[in-house]
A and B are shown apart, each in its own frame.
Chain A
Amino acid sequence: MDKALLKKTIAFIVILALIPAVIALGVVLFRDRRFNIISIAVALLACVPFFLFFEKKQTKARELVVIAVMVALSAVGRLIFIGIPGFKPLAAIVIITGLAFGAEAGFLTGSLSAVLSNIFFGQGPWTPFQMFVWGILGFAAGLFYRRQAAKTWPALIVWGIASGAAFSLLMDIWTVFSLDGGWNWARYWTALIAGLPYTAIYMGSNVLFLLLLFKPISKKLERVKVKYMLFDYGETRGKE
C-alpha cells in the first residue's frame, strides 16, 4: 500500500469513527432522545470524507466543469419534466454519471445535485438525506464503472428500482424519529405505505429514464471522456 493511499484510508476510518461518536454524544447529551437531529448529523457527516478527499487531490479544470454540467443537467431535468408528476431524471443522471466517470464523480454529482436542485425547490430537512442517498447511488454505480454487466438493461432496471426505494426508505427514518423520538416499526411501515404510490411512480420513472437515457447519455459522456482525457482515462488506457 503506498503512502498516499494509507493516509487516505486512515482519514477515512477517523471520519467514519466520528459517526458513532456523534450518535453516542447525542444519546448522552439529549436525554429525551432527539434522534432526528442525530440522523441528520450522521447523513451530513457521511458525506464529509468524500468531500474532503476531493478537495485534497488535484483535479483538472475540465473535470470540475464536466461535473458541474452534470449537476446542472440533473436540476434542469427536474425542471423540464416538472409538468409530469413524479418524473425526475435526477437519480438516472447520477447513476449514468457514476457508471461513466467513476465513483468519485458519481458521489459528487449526486450530493451536489441534491443541494442545487433544492436551491430551486427549497432546502429542508430532506436535503442532507438526499445528499447522502444520491451521493451513495452515484458512488455505488461508479464502483461498477468497468463492468459491462452493470450496464445491461436488467441491471439498469435494478438500479432504477433501488434508487427509487432508497430515498423514501431513508427519509422515513427521519420522519419516524421526528414523530416518535425513538424507533417505531408500525409508524415506519405506515409512512412507507402512505408514500407508496409516490415511490412507485418514482421507481417506474427512474427505470424508464435509465432505459431511455442510458445509451445516448453514456455515449456522450464516454466521448467527452476519451476526447479530453478526463477521469483517469489517459492513465488507464494503456493498461486495458
Chain B
Amino acid sequence: MKSVRAFETYHPLTLFAFFACALVICMFTLHPVLLAVCYLSGVGFYGMLAGRRKLAASLARSIPLTVLIAAVNPLFVHRGETPLFFLNDNAVTLEAILYGAAAAVMLMSVFYWFKCYNEVMTSDKFIYLFGRVLPKLSLILSMALRFVSRFKRQYREIDDAQRAMGMYASKSLTDRLRSAFRVFSALITWSLENSIETADSMRARGYGLRGRTSYNNFFWRRRDGFMLAFIVLTAGAVIALLSAGRAGFGYYPTVTPIGFSVYDLLCYGALTVLLFMTVLLEMKEAVRWRYSLSKI
C-alpha cells in the first residue's frame, strides 16, 4: 500500500532544498556516527517509500557490494598502524579496512538518498522548479518527456506493421538488431515531421510573446516556509560545525576516538533530526491512513 505519502506533498522548492542538503552532507563526511545516520535514514526512507519487498531486494544487492568495497580497500591503501596480516609483502591494515567500510557505506547512503530523490522529485516537480530559472531548457525537457511516451507508442505501431508484413520473424540477435534499426529509423522521420506541427501550433498560440501565463499546480503553503526554515537551520548547523572541524574523524594512521563534546553531539543531533524527519513524517501518515481505513 503505497498510496499515502506525506513528504512529497511539500512544495518542489522545499523538497529540492532538502535533497540537496541531504546529498551534500552524505558525501561530506566519513564520521561513523554521521555515516550511520545518513545510511539508516536513507534506507529507512526508501523503505517507507518503496515498500518492504523492494527494499529487501535492493539491500540484497547493495550489502554484498558494500562488503566487497570494504574488503578490497587494503589492496590499494597500505596506510595504518595495525597490520592484520601480510599479502605479497604488503600489510593489510585494520585502518584500511575500516576506512574502506566507511567509504562504502557513504557511497551506499548516497545511492539510497538518490533512490528516495527519484521517488519523491518526480519530473513535473523538477521541471516546475527549473522552469523559473531556465524556462527554455525546461520547456524542451517537458516536451521531450511527452514525446517519449508518444514515440514509444509510435514505435510499437511501426513495429507491428513491419511484423504484419512478415519481416524479421526470427528471434536471432541479428534479426532483432536489424528490425530495431529499421523501425527506429522510420520513427525518426515520423517524429521530426510531426514535431514541426507542434512548433507551429506553439507559435500560433503566442509562444515567446510577453505576458503569457503558465499553468501551475504547485502552491507555496505556510508549512513549506516552516519546513524550509527547519531544513536550512539544521543542515546549516551540520555544515557549519563540520566546516569548523567539529565532529572530525581520522582513519590514518590510527582510528581516532568518536568525539562526544557538546559541539559533536549538536552535530549528530541536528543531522538525525534533519534526515529522520522524513521517515517520521511517512510513519505518521501511514498510521493516520490505517486509522482512517479502520473507520470505514
A residues sitting closer than 8 Å to B (CB atoms) are 29-32, 34, 36-37, 40, 51, 54-55, 59-62, 64-69, 71-73, 75-77, 79-81, 83-84, 89, 108, 112, 115-116, 119-120, 122-125, 178-181, 184, 186-187, 190, 212-213, 216-217, 220-221, 224, 228
Check: B69 CB closer than 8 A to any chain A CB.
yes
Binds A, one of B173-181, B226-234, B259-267, B286-294: B173-181
Give, as a whole number of angstroms, the nearest-CB distance from A37 to chain B. Answer: 5
Q: Which of B123, B155, B180 contacts A119 (CB 8 A)?
A: B123
The secondary-structure label for the interface of chain B is helix
Q: How far apart sit A34 and B151, CA to CA, in the bound complex (Å)?
A: 42
B76 within 8 A of A: yes
| Closest Cβ neighbor of A36 among chain B residues | B27
> Which residues of B come within 8 Å of A, CB atoms?
24, 27-30, 69, 73, 76-77, 100, 103-104, 106-107, 110-111, 114-115, 117-118, 123, 126, 134-137, 139-141, 143-145, 147-148, 151-152, 155, 173, 176-177, 180-181, 183-185, 187-189, 191-193, 195-196, 198-200, 202-203, 207-208, 243, 245, 248
| Contact of A68 with B144 in the complex, beta carbons under 8 Å | yes
- Asked if A65 contacts B187 (CB within 8 A), the reply is no
Smallest CB separation, A233 vs chain B (Å): 14
Please give, as numbers and ranges, the residues of chain A lying within 8 Å of B173 by CB-CB distance.
84
Is A72 touching B245 in the complex (CB atoms < 8 A)?
no
What residue in chain A is nearest B135 (Cβ atoms)?
A55
Of chain B, the residue at the smallest CB distance from A40 is B27
The interface residues of chain B lying within 8 Å CB-to-CB of A31 are: 245, 248
Residues of A within 8 A of B115 (CB): 122
Whether A116 contacts B148 in the complex (CB less than 8 A), given A51-B137, A61-B208, comes out as: yes
A59 to B203 alpha-carbon distance, docked (Å): 12
Bound Cα distance A73, B134 (Å): 22
Q: Which 10 A-B pairs have the closest CB atoms?
A: A72-B147, A68-B143, A65-B199, A71-B144, A62-B199, A72-B144, A61-B199, A68-B144, A65-B195, A76-B151
B148 near A224: Cβ-Cβ < 8 Å: no
CB distance from A210 to the nearest CB of B (A): 12
- A66–B176 Cα distance when bound, in Å, is 28
Q: Is the CB of B141 within 8 A of A116?
A: yes
**B residues near A217, Cβ cutoff 8 Å:** 185, 188
A187 adjacent to B114 (CB under 8 Å):
no
Judge whether B144 and A180 touch: CB under 8 Å: no
Query: Are A123 and B114 in contact, with the CB atoms below 8 A?
Result: yes
A69 vs B235: C-alpha distance in the bound complex, in angstroms?
40
CB B103 to nearest CB in A, in angstroms, measures 5
Q: Is the CB of A124 within 8 A of B191?
A: no
Query: Which chain B residue lies CB-closest to A221?
Result: B192
What are 7 A-B residue pairs whose CB atoms fall within 8 Å in the complex? A51-B137, A68-B139, A71-B144, A123-B118, A184-B77, A220-B189, A228-B196
Do the beta carbons of B143 and A64 come within 8 Å of each other?
Answer: yes
Whether the Cβ atoms of A220 and B136 lie closer than 8 Å is no
Closest B-chain residue to A179, C-beta based?
A: B103
Q: Are B185 and A75 in contact (CB under 8 A)?
A: no
Q: Are A178 and B188 in contact (CB under 8 A)?
A: no
Task: Please give the distance in Å from A70's CB to the nearest CB on chain B.
Answer: 8
Interchain CA distance A181-B103 in the complex, whole Å: 9
> How far apart are the CA atoms of A75 and B123 in the complex, in Å?
14
Measured CB to CB, the nearest residue on chain B to A50 is B137
Known: A76-B152, A178-B27, A190-B76. A84 touches B189 (CB 8 A): no
| Complex alpha-carbon distance, A154 and B169, angstroms | 34
Enumerate chain A residues within 8 angstroms of B196, measured Cβ to Cβ: 62, 65-66, 224, 228
| Known pairs A55-B137, A116-B141, A221-B192; A68 contacts B28 (CB<8 A) | no
Which residue of the partner chain, among B104, B118, B192, contacts A220 with CB atoms under 8 Å? B192
| Residue in B100, B117, B140 whose CB lies within 8 Å of A71 | B140
